[in-house]
Structure 1
Amino acid sequence: MKRLSEQARRRDLRLVGADTAARLAQDTPQERAVFDETVELDVRDARACRAWAAGQKGLDAVVTIAELSVLPAAEIAQELGLPGNDPDAVRGIRYKDRCRRLLREAGFVQPESALCDGLEEARRFVQQTAPGPWVVKPRDGLASIGVCVVHDPEDLPAAVALASRATFMEEVTSPADGTPGSVRDSGRAARETFPFLVETYVSGAEYSAEGVFVGGTPLVLGLTRKLVTSGFISTSQRMPSGLDQATASAAQDTVARALTATGITHGAFHVELWVTDRGIVLGEFHIRTGGDFIHALVEHTRPGLEFYGMHLDDLLGNTPGPVPPVTRAARVQFLFPPAGRLRAVHGWDALTHHPAVLNADLMVSEGDVIPQTADSFTRAGVFVVGGATAEEVDTLAESLVAQLDFETA
């Protein structure tokens, strides 16, 4: 948000920040300073955001960096007649089963998948697609929450129980006119379980494509190499990706064509993909900058690039400047100390003062109980390093991890 604010103000833009009253009350003075003013609004509730927008004037663009606010932002833009994505196109990629179907119908390679309402439906799909493995996950999740790899059908009940209770949005039918498509925060839904997705496992190296729409056309700014745990939790992200030119070009072309097929026309994007024996297989689509400091990697590897500024220029109808070339490398490294009560951390101060460390954050303190890492929100720490080449940042990151010592009991 600080980067977005700085790049907006260099364009003489005034920023209005929106969030719930509870979240705004938690903001520090430094966090409040990124905005010129704030409004209390449930930014995850598409209906509430559209109703709020109906009485607004003087806004020129709407932007979000949050996954669960992409649809509400589209609703605001549509209500105000501003450049933005069609809310139906956003729904089409936000629900993973719809995105899989759309891409498959457009001719893109996709894993086999099924939207299931219960264990018996999941079992039928597993029987039809044996021998596996399979992935069970919420149809609308994020941050690897509720995601499991199932190698043995006997483990399916536990995976279904986890995925069917980890949902973030719910599509409901409007009682007034029977029109489907309204979306609300699932925390308000009086349901205990939700539809979930079961799909065949994709074997291949994981990457993601980062970019922004300019004039309705997706522009891929870079590919990120992604290393993950067996539960799909990112352990590191690196740019450049290290892919050979032919494979990188194929990945960029596939992502650009697929984005066009989804009907998305505006915004930054983060698209996950695998490089497999069958070619490029597309994963999840996100119409916002990548998390895990990926936005910082994009800007660091292209010195002078303003990632958010390009997005703002496009929304405001301004001609974007030239895209700086890739001349550097950067890597994000996450930390996974042993579970237990943390007694001490040795080597952290030295790491944070290393000249190549661009950012570092330790999310645990002495006395905290470190759990087994279950999702992206339970990782214990992170740092970002920059360097001249991919090999250099890989070597440095691994060296700095080796110098850290987490004492847990």
Structure 2
Amino acid sequence: MPEATLLIVGSTASTPWGRDQISRLSAQARQRGLRVMGADTPGNLAVAGGEQPRMDETVELDVHDVRACRAWATDHEAGIAAVATIRELSVLPTAWMARVRDIAGNDPEAVLRVRRKDVCRQRLREAGFPQPSTAVCHNAAEAERFLRTTGPGPWVVKPRDGLAGIGVTVVHGPAELGAALAKFEDLPPAISPLGRPDSFLAETYVEGDEYSAEGVVIDGRPQVLALTRKGKGEGFVETSHRIPSGLDPATAAEAREAVGRALTAVGITRGIFHVEFWSTAAGIVLGELHDRGGGDYIHALVERTRPGFSLYGAFLDDLLGHAPQPVPPAAGAACAQFVLAPPGRLRAVHGWEEVAAHPSVFASHLQVAVGDTVPEATDSYTRPAVFAAGADSPEELDALVSALTARITFDTVKEAGPDPLGPDGP
């Protein structure tokens, strides 16, 4: 009889937190006696370096294509006991593979409902949740019509099916629509499997502090494990994630209850989740729902502040039908802090080695090197550095993160472009 296997759909990762997620998922699967099989595109496997997590077996598969994944799942021999992914663009193929294999997983229709942001918002409205007004638009004229009828603004323009803040813009009037839509013409590789969007969303802007809820569905019931406070830079660039959130008990309870009801309303019955929300003057307003864990080391913050808890182990136990393990009480505080740099050619980084070696820092990554051109941070993939640290209390954590961030200095110089008038001037 084939050995019981966990199939990880999308087994390589371009980000350090993605690799850490896959490593923890693999380790916690092996602790449960599972063999680990990885599947990814030939291109991703070809460029995967030595930092990628170890698989017991690897197969080439277009893990973003539902049809290819369903065909592979139909033809593959027995032995796959569970199928999982950390990758946003592989959540739907993973759900279909579980259905084809007749093993535990989310309903593909529910997954598609969550991925299509306008459809998800409509389902939440029908369930009684306040939501921003939303329109699916195909051109600037349709977006301008939405702006005129939902003023005074501002508004958000974004892909209907995107991720990581890519292509998201706040606009304050029709004159800014052209620049917002131009972003859809040059989308980065992270979103390329979706192709060029033929429609996009325009939404009314929600005023409020931004947070997210992290958790896992156990026995069909969403269990919120942590609420995370989100730090933001210019636009939609996320600069930090902190647990605990600092919300007052009543607001935190309202958020936990809303998140649980919302996931049930859209039909999510399995898996790790990451749900964004705003705390507004009128109460909790839910943002995007994700039936996969958050990025940016959020998974590590959850495990750090639930000592002894295995996030992926709890997920796998539910898929395998094992009895759930008790969830340890919350303790301590943890933060993932991104450090931004002035755009330009990097001449030096000061203080990074000291911060990365600090005993309270449990993860760190510097993705630029001397001589590189540091771009302006516009999404989750263009932030140059991150560290994650823990402390015994929120107050100690805030002081620690501030002190560590202050030690890091990026020395960049703006690169001069060609003189349009030529070397000799006018």
Q: What band does the TM-score fall into relative to the shorter chain?
A: over 0.9
Indicate the SS of the match to 1:149: strand
Indicate the SS of the match to 2:69: helix
1:15 is displaced (CA, Å) by 0.7
User: Which position in structure 1 is the counterpart of 2:294?
Assistant: 290
1:340 is displaced (CA, Å) by 0.6
2:49 is the alignment partner of 1:41: no
1:22 is displaced (CA, Å) by 2.1
Indicate the SS of the match to 1:65: coil
For residues 94 and 218 of structure 1, what CA distance do their matches in structure 2 show?
18
For residues 412 and 45 of structure 2, what CA distance do their matches in structure 1 show?
35
Contact 2:23/2:53, CA 8 A, preserved across alignment: no
1:24 is displaced (CA, Å) by 1.7
1:164 is displaced (CA, Å) by 6.9
1:394 is displaced (CA, Å) by 1.4
2:256 is the alignment partner of 1:252: yes
RMSD (CA atoms): 1.7
Q: Which amino acid aligns with 1:398?
A: S
1:135 pairs with 156, 175, 180, which one?
156
1:169 is displaced (CA, Å) by 11
Seen in structure 2, the aligned counterparts of structure 1 residues 339 and 230 have a Cα distance that, compared at 3 Å, is closer
Structure 1 unaligned regions, length at least 5: 171-183
1:115 is displaced (CA, Å) by 0.6
Q: Which amino acid aligns with 1:46?
A: V
2:341 is the alignment partner of 1:337: yes
TM-score of the superposed pair, with normalisation by structure 1: 0.93
CA deviations on 1:58-89 (whole Å, 9 max, x unpaired) are 11110101111100100100111111111111
Q: Which amino acid aligns with 2:59?
A: V
User: Which position in structure 2 is the counterpart of 1:228?
Assistant: 232
For residues 226 and 328 of structure 2, what CA distance do their matches in structure 1 show?
12
For residues 32 and 404 of structure 1, what CA distance do their matches in structure 2 show?
29
Which moved further from structure 2: 267-276 or 20-29? 20-29
Contact 1:163/1:196, CA 8 A, preserved across alignment: no
Indicate the SS of the match to 1:209: strand
Which moved further from structure 2: 154-163 or 203-212? 154-163
Q: Which amino acid aligns with 2:405?
A: V
User: Which position in structure 1 is the counterpart of 2:194?
Assistant: 186
1:31 is displaced (CA, Å) by 2.5
2:116 is the alignment partner of 1:62: no
**What does residue range 200-349 of structure 1 map to in structure 2 within 5 Å?**
200-349=204-353
2:355 is the alignment partner of 1:351: yes
Contact 2:64/2:90, CA 8 A, preserved across alignment: yes
Contact 1:164/1:196, CA 8 A, preserved across alignment: no
1:165 is displaced (CA, Å) by 6.3
Seen in structure 2, the aligned counterparts of structure 1 residues 376 and 259 have a Cα distance that, compared at 3 Å, is same
Count of residues paired in the alignment: 391
Seen in structure 2, the aligned counterparts of structure 1 residues 165 and 124 have a Cα distance that, compared at 3 Å, is farther
For residues 329 and 19 of structure 1, what CA distance do their matches in structure 2 show?
35
Contact 1:345/1:405, CA 8 A, preserved across alignment: yes
Seen in structure 2, the aligned counterparts of structure 1 residues 367 and 285 have a Cα distance that, compared at 3 Å, is same
1:240 is displaced (CA, Å) by 0.6
Seen in structure 2, the aligned counterparts of structure 1 residues 193 and 50 have a Cα distance that, compared at 3 Å, is closer
1:92 pairs with 95, 113, 132, which one?
113
1:382 is displaced (CA, Å) by 0.2
Seen in structure 2, the aligned counterparts of structure 1 residues 120 and 48 have a Cα distance that, compared at 3 Å, is same
For residues 165 and 125 of structure 1, what CA distance do their matches in structure 2 show?
24
1:232 is displaced (CA, Å) by 1.3
Contact 1:139/1:167, CA 8 A, preserved across alignment: no
Seen in structure 2, the aligned counterparts of structure 1 residues 30 and 159 have a Cα distance that, compared at 3 Å, is closer
1:406 is displaced (CA, Å) by 0.9
For residues 369 and 27 of structure 1, what CA distance do their matches in structure 2 show?
23
Q: Which amino acid aligns with 1:13?
A: L
Q: Which amino acid aligns with 1:40?
A: E
Overall identity of the aligned pairs, in %: 56
Structure 2 unaligned regions, length at least 5: 1-21, 414-426
**What does residue range 21-40 of structure 1 map to in structure 2 within 5 Å?**
21-29=42-50, 31=52, 33=54, 35-40=55-60
1:152 is displaced (CA, Å) by 2.8
Contact 2:236/2:378, CA 8 A, preserved across alignment: no
CA deviations on 1:181-211 (whole Å, 9 max, x unpaired) are xxx9434xxxx55200000000001000000
1:397 pairs with 398, 401, 420, which one?
401
Contact 2:159/2:197, CA 8 A, preserved across alignment: no
User: Which position in structure 1 is the counterpart of 2:139?
Assistant: 118
TM-score of the superposed pair, with normalisation by structure 2: 0.89
For residues 162 and 404 of structure 2, what CA distance do their matches in structure 1 show?
32
User: Which position in structure 2 is the counterpart of 1:180?
Assistant: none
For residues 239 and 296 of structure 2, what CA distance do their matches in structure 1 show?
10
Seen in structure 2, the aligned counterparts of structure 1 residues 166 and 23 have a Cα distance that, compared at 3 Å, is closer
CA deviations on 1:83-128 (whole Å, 9 max, x unpaired) are 1111111010101111111111111010011010111110000000
